[in-house]
Amino acid sequence: MTKVPVMTEASPIKAKPHLPDAQTVTQVTHWTDRLFSFRVTRPRTLRFRSGEFVMIGLMGDNGKPLLRAYSIASPAWDEELEFYSIKVPDGPLTSKLQHILVGDEIILRPKPVGTLVHDALLPGKRLWFLATGTGLAPFASLMREPETYEKYDRVIMMHTCREVAELEYGQKLVESLKDDPLIGDLVGDKLVYYPTTTREAFHHMGRVTDNLASGKVFADLGLPAMNPGEDRAMVCGSLAFNVDVKAILEGFGLREGANSDPKEFVVEKAFVGDGI
């Protein structure tokens, strides 16, 4: 069922921005019928911490900006900004956004915020990224952030989707890190990738929650069970996922932190609404 991603590259001629806070699309890749990623120019003044999100969108039919929260999937050092997006068939924004082409403009409000940042965690030995679906996006940024590898001995990326094809964006990104001229040496063998599916056969299966609660992931990776002395975690998925993971992490003795009060784990919603 795996599809070859359809990618279009930037042409040297770009449309002149005319929208408020306009940025120009430089690349679009369609991964599945429900998922795509795209890159846009970066406002020269935009500073953000890897893991944060911004409001992006298009001009609505009523002439007003139609904006939604989006995690920046690229790291803070990247010259461009990358986003990883769902396509909701009747979604006000994504029913249109999924048709963007290289040279088109999107609106990007340059006010980054978010809790999935290194500053919100106390120092630790291992950092766990726990995501479902497009909840991977902030970790696509943090997996390319040098600070991630400077601060931790091991970084474990657990990502679960229903089907194998939905893992491809993350798989390709992780594969590219080893040979990345900027960050490859820092990543070394510190990054452990643990993708699973729940509704299609794959070499590793099961929900993040089940694989943590049963201890399967620790056994598979040869790691001790999570403990508040050594382990830190960042969580991004549906509300139901976040609630269930939070209970498991608290069961391991980890406490939820925030920018203003760093502790052992932090949580952010990948989207608002039941979705499941």
| Chain residues in the site for ligand FAD (CB under 6 A) | 53, 68-71, 84-86, 88, 91-95, 133-134, 137, 268-275
CB atoms inside a 10 Å sphere around CB 15:
13
Identify the H or E element spanning 250. helix 239-251
Task: State how far the Cα of 205 lies from the Cα of 214, in Å rounded to an integer.
Answer: 13
C-beta closer to ligand A2P: residue 107 or 226 = 226
Binding segment for ligand A2P (CB under 6 A), chosen from 102-110, 136-144, 158-166, 253-261, is 158-166
Residue choice 241, 248, 264, 266 for contact with ligand A2P (CB under 6 A): 241
C-beta closer to ligand FAD: residue 124 or 135 = 135
Task: State how far the Cα of 266 lies from the Cα of 255, in Å rounded to an integer.
Answer: 9
C-beta closer to ligand A2P: residue 208 or 254 = 208
Residue choice 148, 209, 217, 248 for contact with ligand A2P (CB under 6 A): 209
What does 208 bind: ligand A2P, ligand FAD, none (CB cut-off 5 to 8 Å by kind)? ligand A2P
List the strands of the sheet with 191-197, edge to edge.
191-197, 154-161, 126-132, 231-237, 265-269
Task: State how far the Cα of 198 lies from the Cα of 61, in Å rounded to an integer.
Answer: 38
φ, ψ of residue 32 in degrees (nearest 5) = -145, -175
Rounded to a whole number of angstroms, the minimum distance from the CB of residue 152 to ligand A2P is 24
Task: State how far the Cα of 37 lies from the Cα of 168, in Å rounded to an integer.
Answer: 11
What does 132 bind: ligand A2P, ligand FAD, none (CB cut-off 5 to 8 Å by kind)? ligand A2P
If you write DSSP's letter for every residue of 110-152 in order, what string do you get?
EEEE-S-SGGGB---SEEEEEEEGGGGHHHHHHTT-HHHHHH-
Residue choice 110, 146, 228, 275 for contact with ligand A2P (CB under 6 A): 275
Site for ligand A2P in 133-152 (CB under 6 A): 133
Which DSSP state fits 242?
A: H
Residue choice 161, 167, 183, 187 for contact with ligand A2P (CB under 6 A): 161
Contact between 155 and 190 under an 8 Å Cβ cutoff? The reply is: yes
Do the strands 126-132 and 35-41 form a parallel or antiparallel pair, or are they unpaired? unpaired
C-beta closer to ligand A2P: residue 32 or 41 = 32
Q: N- to C-terminal Cα distance for the chain?
A: 22
Residue choice 87, 162, 190, 246 for contact with ligand A2P (CB under 6 A): 162
C-beta closer to ligand FAD: residue 124 or 133 = 133
Q: How many residues bind ligand A2P (CB under 6 A)?
A: 16
Contact between 104 and 25 under an 8 Å Cβ cutoff? The reply is: yes
Which DSSP state fits 123?
A: -
Residue choice 37, 94, 160, 211 for contact with ligand A2P (CB under 6 A): 160
What does 85 bind: ligand A2P, ligand FAD, none (CB cut-off 5 to 8 Å by kind)? ligand FAD
In the structure, how many helices (H) and strands (E) does the chain have?
8, 12
- Which stretches of the chain bind ligand A2P, using CB under 6 A? 132-133, 160-162, 198-199, 207-209, 238, 240-241, 244, 275-276
